[in-house]
Amino acid sequence: MIVLKLNGIYHTGGQMVFGTNKMIDWNDINAGKPPELPNGSNIDVTISFDEGDFLTGRNGIVWATYDLRQAEIINSALVAQHISTRLQMLPFGEEEIFLITVTNESDINEAINFIWRDGAGLRLKPDWSYPEGEVNKSFEQWLSER
């Protein structure tokens, strides 16, 4: 589970102002009555989601990595398989994550199989399956075999 934390200030009536001077109203995220916090209270908002969503092919996204070199090599390997892709960077909290997106919907399963499902493919494990700060061993192993 990836967690992003936002810090801000709570204002009476449910307005929350974050460090980027972006304001969110309580009613925009929750139908219930705003909490009765003192005006000017410091707040922390946590957003969490399943990293596995980056591997499902939803919206064409078939792989995500914190390593630009890894993203570029995998992207090139997919292109060599005649799978049209797009590489994009997404700001992700304090870090950046690189997404590989397949542009032709009919190629999504083939790309997923090639990257991590099929034993004849790359057989990669996601970056987040390793301890934080550690390299992606499955990618480095595949690279050293080439």
Give the integer Cα–Cα distance in Å for 144 and 23. Answer: 48
Give the integer Cα–Cα distance in Å for 113 and 108. Answer: 9
CB atoms within 10 A of CB 12: 12
Q: Is the pTM of this model over 0.75?
A: no
pLDDT digits (tens, 9 = 90+) for 46-59: 888 778 888 899 99
83 close to 110: Cβ distance less than 8 angstroms: yes
Angle at 73 between CA 136 and CA 133, to 5 degrees: 25
pLDDT digits (tens, 9 = 90+) for 84-126: 999 999 887 778 889 999 999 999 999 999 999 888 889 999 9
72 confidence band (pLDDT: 50, 70, 90): very high
